[in-house]
Structure 1
Amino acid sequence: MTEANEFRPAARIGIGGPVGSGKTALVERLLAVFATRGRSVSVITNDLVTTEDAERVRRSGLIDPARVLAVEAGGCPHTVIREDPSLNLAAADRLEREHPGTEVVLLESGGDNLASTFSRDLVDYWMFVIDVAGGDDIPRKRGPGVVRADLLVVNKVDLAPHVGADLPRMLREAAEVRDGRPVLCTDLRAGVGVEAVVDLLDREVLFA
């Protein structure tokens, strides 16, 4: 931890996206890279009525299990990250209180559609994860998650030739609808592209 960060509140970073796009895989990959960079990280996962994602992260061996909390939305996943984020705000406050010196809190949304967005009262920065296997027309649908996120992560790029996706066109159209906001490619199963995501977070959030 740097001296400059010692007295700063933790950066709260949201991770949203459809079911199966790779949100939890991104959390796990980020934890591994943050560990190599000496970052102090905690995690909040959101599910409808389970704690399955939280248990997966706790079992990963990448983080002290006490640093992982689960929020059960009990309904539409976007409700607790946008309309009424009080449960997530309380969880983030608890993690920072119980683990002084926390620099980053990762908040993973429950799987939702392309309309999912985060309240700025909850997060300082948020990412939206889509995957190539979900269709190369996703950017053209211009969902709020795709258009408004601070960072769009296009995951499973290795599958493009196997599912008939036109990856260059997908990335070109993503750039067009996002009006200059960044787009990064990942293959989270292999860990490809994660360093670039963390580099961007360092520039845009952690050292801003």
Structure 2
Amino acid sequence: MPAEHEHTHPHPHDDPHAPLHNGERALRIGIGGPVGSGKTALVAALCRSLSEDLRIAVVTNDIYTTEDADFLLRNGVLPAERIRAVETGCCPHTAIRDDISANLDAIEELEESLGPLDVILVESGGDNLTATFSKGLIDQQIFVVDVAGGDKVPRKGGPGVTSADLLVINKTDLAPLVGADLGVMARDAAARRGDLPTVFLSLVEDRTAAPVQDWIRSLVR
């Protein structure tokens, strides 16, 4: 038994895996964030817009279901052979940071079956503000929050908000309905993130997710 007060849960900044090797391979982008923040809708929008000229595939993570992969398939954003579903059977962050083997296997299967790819999106299951991806799994991390949680979310920080390579503040169209001040969110995000970029998005108003799409394209180039 662990001693009283002993911390046994991995710290979100601890990464037990060596970073990915550089070379001729697909850019791997992790997309994480709380439940309901709009991760799967963002993935769907990116698949539609990026697949026009890039070779793209997706790995989704759910605890006990393939719900997110099924959503992508129903909406026809990519052919079925370009989507893999991982049932983690555990806390979502475990499969993207601590034991990444199932996700690595899914990526390997995609690469072997499809040939060379430009981008692989890895969507985490819904998690909290501590969710971070291992650099042994992905190259860049997008973290998605939404204004429905209130304009205090960026101020609360957490590794997902403060250290993600791109922070997406989603569902801006809901701001007037929930009394969220986007100016406050922009100010607090800048204070927490320094020079790391933050974008505001409404997939109701922009179905191509233009600012996120542009950011990914800049990395591929």
> Contact conserved, 2:49 with 2:208, CA < 8 A, in 1?
no
Whole-Å Cα distance in 2 between the matches of residues 175 and 26 of structure 1?
22
Q: 1:134 to 1:193 in 2, by over 3 A?
A: farther
Do structure 1's residue 69 and structure 2's residue 92 form an aligned pair? no
CA-atom RMSD in angstroms: 1.2
Mapped partners of 2:145, 2:178: distance in 1: 15
Which residue pairs with 1:3 in the alignment?
Answer: none
Q: Distance in 2 between matches of 1:108 and 1:190?
A: 22
- For residue 115 of structure 2, give the secondary structure of its aligned residue in structure 1: coil
Give the conservation status (yes or no) of the 8 Å contact 2:33–2:39: yes
For 2:185, give the aligned amino acid: M
Q: Is the contact made by 1:43 and 1:69 (CA closer than 8 Å) also made in structure 2?
A: yes
2:72 corresponds to which letter in structure 1? V
Counterpart in the other structure of 1:27? 43
* 2:13 aligned partner: none
Contact 1:151–1:183 (Cα < 8 Å) also in 2: yes
The alpha carbon displacement at 1:101 in A equals 2.1
Aligned equivalents of 1:21, 1:123: Cα separation in 2: 21
Please say if 1:119 is aligned against 2:134: yes
Residue 192 of structure 1 deviates from its aligned partner by 5.4
CA distance in structure 1 between the partners assigned to 2:69 and 2:215 by the alignment: 25
Matched residue type, 2:136: D
- Secondary structure, aligned partner of 1:82: helix
Distance 1:190 1:31 in 2: 17
Q: Which has the larger radius of gyration?
A: 2
List structure 1 runs of 4+ shifted beyond 4 angstroms: none
Mapped partners of 1:185, 1:193: distance in 2: 13
Please tell me whether residue 56 in structure 1 is matched to residue 94 in structure 2: no
How high is the sequence identity, in percent, across the aligned residues? Answer: 51
Cα distance in 1 between the residues matched to 2:163 and 2:172: 21
Alignment of 1:120-135 (within 5 A): 120-135=135-150
Q: How does 1:1-208 map to 2 (within 5 A)?
A: 8-36=24-52, 38-191=53-206, 194-203=209-218, 205-207=219-221
Secondary structure of 1:12's aligned partner:
strand
Using the TM superposition, name which of 189-198 and 38-47 deviates more: 189-198
TM-score (norm 2): 0.87
- Does the residue aligned with 2:29 lie in a helix, a strand or coil? strand
CA displacement, residues 140-194 of structure 1 (integer Å, 9 cap, x when unaligned) = 1111100010000000001111100111111111011001100001102332571
> How far apart in 2 are the matches of 1:176 and 1:192?
29
Displacement of 1:8 in angstroms is 2.4
The question of whether the paired residues in 2 share the 8 Å contact of 1:187 and 1:193 is answered with: no
1:198 Cα deviation after fit:
1.4
User: How far, CA to CA, are the matches of 2:168 and 2:208 in structure 1?
Assistant: 9
